[in-house]
Amino acid sequence: MPVVYVARSAALTKWASDVGQGKHIYKLGIAEDEAAVKAAVAAGWGGESDWKLVHSKQIDDLDEDSALARLGRREKVIDPTYYPRLKGAAGVYRITLTNVQNSLLVAKAMTADEPLTEVKVKPKDIADYMIRNAIA
């Protein structure tokens, strides 16, 4: 069963911040199973080997191109042809925290038992947001 995953690299985030892309850079991908996810994250992308798996979820049937296109409707993809450092690393996104916060606030408003307070976004929240938008 395919697995959609979100990974993050601290070194690539620092580089992206230096080139003006911001500090919320994540990689979304789809692999055949959990072992393939671990192998891909260990191999890394963009010349960095410090990638960490943030979150993964098993899905029924979805190819990587359509998942990337769906997420690309909401978030800005970093073009690997424009940045030579990302050569061959499709699925690297610049995430806007406002979109994630709005999504969490709407989800919180839908539940009647939680008061509406300011939301502090964590990397796992960003990964959930990415996966939800990629498979929906």
State the pLDDT at residue 66.
94
Between CA 101 and CA 107 the distance in angstroms is 10
The pLDDT assigned to 102 comes to: 93
Distance CA 109, CA 113 (A): 9
Tell me the average pLDDT across 65-84.
Answer: 92
pLDDT in tens, 1-60: 899 999 999 999 999 999 999 999 999 999 999 999 999 999 989 889 899 999 999 998
Sketch the domain layout of the chain as residue ranges: 3-135
pLDDT score of 88 more than 90:
no
Give the model confidence (pLDDT) of 104-121 as tens digits.
Answer: 999 888 887 777 788 899
Indicate the pTM of the whole model. 0.91
pLDDT of residue 56: 95
Mark 39-68 as b/e (b = at least 16 C-beta within 10 Å). Answer: ebbeebbbebeebebbbbeeeeeeebeebb
Q: What is the pLDDT of residue 47?
A: 87
